[in-house]
A and B are shown apart, each in its own frame.
Chain A
Amino acid sequence: MAASTDAKTAHPSGDKRFHLLEVAIRRQQHQQSALIEVLHAAQQLFGYLELDVLYFIAHHLKLPLSKVYGVATFYHLFCLKPPGKHTCVICTGTACYVKGADRLLEAASEFGHVQPGGTTADGELSLLTARCIGACGIAPTAVVDGAIHGHVTAEGLVQLLRGCLNRGPS
């Protein structure tokens, strides 16, 4: 029995992450209503949702691919393109907007030669915006590689970015 389950989960690529994804799907008891949880799990494993992953999920939850794709593209947090090695998220919520988030966005965009939502040509940095990270008390805020920074200035942000790009793996 176990062997047949294994044979079913094996992905032609041999990528072990698909096995972990299958475990995550099993933990949700293959419930179709857990699609969003499964997509979260997949994005955590793979970093983004490539088409192959969406096929895999559709197959295992017995859902049409159109539905899986429809849900994955509806929600902003799901990313269908590979992200850069480092990410910089500028909060553009109201409190940050009032305190000049547009200047941060401009500075980061200019520093990386990248438009908001895009990734630098060398794949080093993704520049993203968030609708509000809920840290309004310390606005304006930026999230660099997962760490929230408050009361950020344009100069401070550029320094942060310079630091993380130099330190990061080459």
Chain B
Amino acid sequence: MDLPELLDLAERERRQRKPLEVRCCVAAGCQSAGSEAVLKELRSGVQSAGLQQEVAVRGVGCMRLCCQGPLVQTAPAGQLFYKVQPSQAASIVSSLRGGQADAHLGDANSPFFTLQASVVLANSGRIDPERIEDYIAADGYQALARVLTEQTPAAVIDTITRSGLRGRGGAGYPTGVKWAMVAKAKSDRKFVVCNADEGDPGAFMNRSVLESDPHSVLEGMAIAGYAVGASQGYVYIRGEYPLATQRLQTAIKQAGRLRLLGAHVLNSAFDFRIDIRIGAGAFVCGEETALMASIMGERGTPRPRPPYPAERGLWDCPTLLNNVETFANIPTIIRRGADWYASMGTAKSKGTKVFALTGKVRNTGLVEVPLGTPLRRIVEDIGGGVPHGKLKAVQTGGPSGGCIPAELLDTPVDYESLGKLGSIMGSGGMIVMDQDNNMVDVARFFMSFCMDESCGKCIPCRAGTVQLTRLLTRLLERRGTRRDLETLESLCTMVRDASLCGLGQTAPNPVLSTLRYFRHEYEALLQDR
């Protein structure tokens, strides 16, 4: 396969499209609501109506509004149906030809959809994630082909740097700078690693991207491999994500068959293999040095940095580590240019970000917005607000993040603004809480999570998280004193400053941020108040 053949395949695929289409979400959220059966009934509905020539039925990735699944959408009309039952499938098919659909017709023009952007999720909900031809028809692998034939690695890195893309795993390190470091490192062997160990409870953006558009991640990794001079890539994926793993395996096989991965990618001198490594349920493996230890078959314990993975990573070779969403951004940036990407977002945070909006909010699901969008727009306009009662706080960044109180809801969501409030962007989990959620209990929830997930290598984290959990429990049982509150605060500072890796260093964040904004809830629990 080379570029002309790729363009030809895309053109052929588009020409063969049937005029009408019914799309049914087959990502994990809708699948668990029974979308497989709906898809089967849609197929047989088209058969029995004799519409095979005109209507295509497509199993597609996430359509974002998970709480209303299984979701079915018609194209080009764009009618969106909520909570579709298998028995309603036939009537949806007949509605394509003017009949009445006996199903809950949702509003595809509601603010939930119209206020969102589509960069990372552009193909999500439109293409069949298990067909590489669908991805190719949506201009897939063209960025890789163009890079291999027309650009030097340095030019690719320059484009990524100018786009202003920052790491989507949470820390927000400039992606182009990281790539340049790995490219500069001298070594015969280099690696590219995709971090798909999405461990933050309450976050499912990476799972959705892998289930909905796996090829975009593979293409992004291959472009990265060319740019930094690596010929081997690994995707480290959570053991809890069987469907995403299976789709990724299928995608890698398909890409290999078309010579879009493997030896002589697209008839060039560039070789790039991708292998999957499956995690086994350890949150700490999201930390980059622990993740690399796990890929090498070791216990997932972190080590001090420097040396950074860019200098010494897998098997002591220079290694580029990026998050799923970071890689998924790459093909579009190459295709549409750095300036286009940098036109979205704020001065320091460019582009879009995908969030998983959950908790006490009407519309739960995936949300992609330009960075800098006010939190209020995400929670109230897109999310539809809190169903019963009043919004109290929004938690971002998982166990490493913090709670943002309702009065600060006008904060723009970007790396710096969230950091100033004592929270972090994190990988994109966003959990809405109402008056029924006690913030001290929330703090204990995250602390006991970190306690369980501490790998035990360094004492501040191993012992500190245990003591912090005990103190919080004592407060919740109304046995705490003012002294305990002081100990809690000083211990938080100690664990933050003395721990070896990100897990321990950020574990106190949920406590510190709730102390900052909801101190009265702690004080109300004190014995000697």
Residue A78 contacts which of B280, B358, B398 (CB distance < 8 angstroms)? B280
Per-residue CB proximity of A95-139 to B under 8 Å, as 1/0?
A: 101110000000000000000000000000000001111111111
Decide if B199 is an interface residue (CB 8 Å cutoff): yes
Residue B359 contacts which of A33, A37, A99, A131 (CB distance < 8 angstroms)? A99
Of B26-34, B317-325, B407-415, the segment with at least 4 beta carbons within 8 Å of chain A is: B26-34
Residue of A with least CB distance to B67: A137
Decide if A39 is an interface residue (CB 8 Å cutoff): yes
Per-residue CB proximity of A65-83 to B under 8 Å, as 1/0?
A: 0000011001111100000
**Contact (Cβ within 8 A) B280 A134:** no
In the bound complex, residues from chain B placing their C-beta under 8 Å from that of A32 are: 297
**Contact (Cβ within 8 A) B445 A132:** no
Task: Scan residues 120-164 of chain A and give those whose CB is less than 8 A from a CB of chain B.
Answer: 130-139, 141, 147-150
Closest CB pairs A-B (n = 3): A137-B66, A93-B201, A75-B280
- Nearest chain A CB to B391 CB, angstrom units: 12
**Contact (Cβ within 8 A) B299 A132:** no
Decide if B81 is an interface residue (CB 8 Å cutoff): no
> Could you count the A-B residue pairs with CB atoms below 8 Å apart for me: how many are there?
141
**Contact (Cβ within 8 A) A37 B33:** no
Residue of A with least CB distance to B66: A137
Residue of B with least CB distance to A131: B201
Q: Which B positions have Cβ atoms within 8 angstroms of A?
A: 28-29, 31-33, 66-67, 69, 198-204, 207, 238-241, 277-283, 294-300, 356, 358-360, 364-366, 395, 398, 429, 431-433, 437, 445-446, 449, 453, 455
Residue of A with least CB distance to B441: A97
A106 and B295 alpha carbons, distance in the complex (Å): 36
A71 and B315 alpha carbons, distance in the complex (Å): 18
**Contact (Cβ within 8 A) B431 A98:** yes
Decide if A36 is an interface residue (CB 8 Å cutoff): yes
In the bound complex, residues from chain B placing their C-beta under 8 Å from that of A85 are: none
**Contact (Cβ within 8 A) B28 A148:** yes
**Contact (Cβ within 8 A) A71 B298:** yes
Task: Scan residues 5-60 of chain A and give those whose CB is less than 8 A from a CB of chain B.
Answer: 31-37, 39-40
In the bound complex, residues from chain A placing their C-beta under 8 Å from that of B297 are: 31-36, 71
A74 and B455 alpha carbons, distance in the complex (Å): 8
**Contact (Cβ within 8 A) B69 A74:** no
Residue of B with least CB distance to A143: B32
A135 and B204 alpha carbons, distance in the complex (Å): 7
A134 and B30 alpha carbons, distance in the complex (Å): 12
**Contact (Cβ within 8 A) B395 A134:** no
In the bound complex, residues from chain B placing their C-beta under 8 Å from that of A132 are: 199-204, 240
- Nearest chain B CB to A96 CB, angstrom units: 8
Known interface pairs A40-B280, A76-B280, A139-B359; 12 further A-B residue pairs with C-beta atoms within 8 A, sorted by A's residue number: A36-B277, A36-B278, A36-B280, A70-B299, A75-B282, A77-B240, A94-B429, A95-B431, A98-B358, A134-B241, A137-B67, A149-B32
- Nearest chain B CB to A6 CB, angstrom units: 26
In the bound complex, residues from chain A placing their C-beta under 8 Å from that of B239 are: 40, 75, 77
A31 and B295 alpha carbons, distance in the complex (Å): 12
Residue of B with least CB distance to A149: B32
- Nearest chain B CB to A31 CB, angstrom units: 8
In the bound complex, residues from chain A placing their C-beta under 8 Å from that of B33 are: 138, 150
In the bound complex, residues from chain A placing their C-beta under 8 Å from that of B364 are: 95, 136-139
A75 and B296 alpha carbons, distance in the complex (Å): 14
In the bound complex, residues from chain A placing their C-beta under 8 Å from that of B202 are: 93-95, 132, 136
A39 and B299 alpha carbons, distance in the complex (Å): 13
A136 and B241 alpha carbons, distance in the complex (Å): 13
**Contact (Cβ within 8 A) B445 A94:** yes
- Nearest chain B CB to A65 CB, angstrom units: 14
In the bound complex, residues from chain B placing their C-beta under 8 Å from that of A135 are: 28-29, 32, 66, 204
**Contact (Cβ within 8 A) B29 A137:** yes
In the bound complex, residues from chain A placing their C-beta under 8 Å from that of B200 are: 94, 132
Residue A139 contacts which of B69, B203, B280, B358 (CB distance < 8 angstroms)? B358
Residue of A with least CB distance to B294: A36
In the bound complex, residues from chain B placing their C-beta under 8 Å from that of A31 are: 297
**Contact (Cβ within 8 A) B298 A98:** no
- Nearest chain A CB to B428 CB, angstrom units: 11
Residue of B with least CB distance to A97: B445
**Contact (Cβ within 8 A) A98 B437:** yes
In the bound complex, residues from chain B placing their C-beta under 8 Å from that of A40 are: 239, 278, 280
**Contact (Cβ within 8 A) B282 A141:** no
In the bound complex, residues from chain B placing their C-beta under 8 Å from that of A70 are: 299
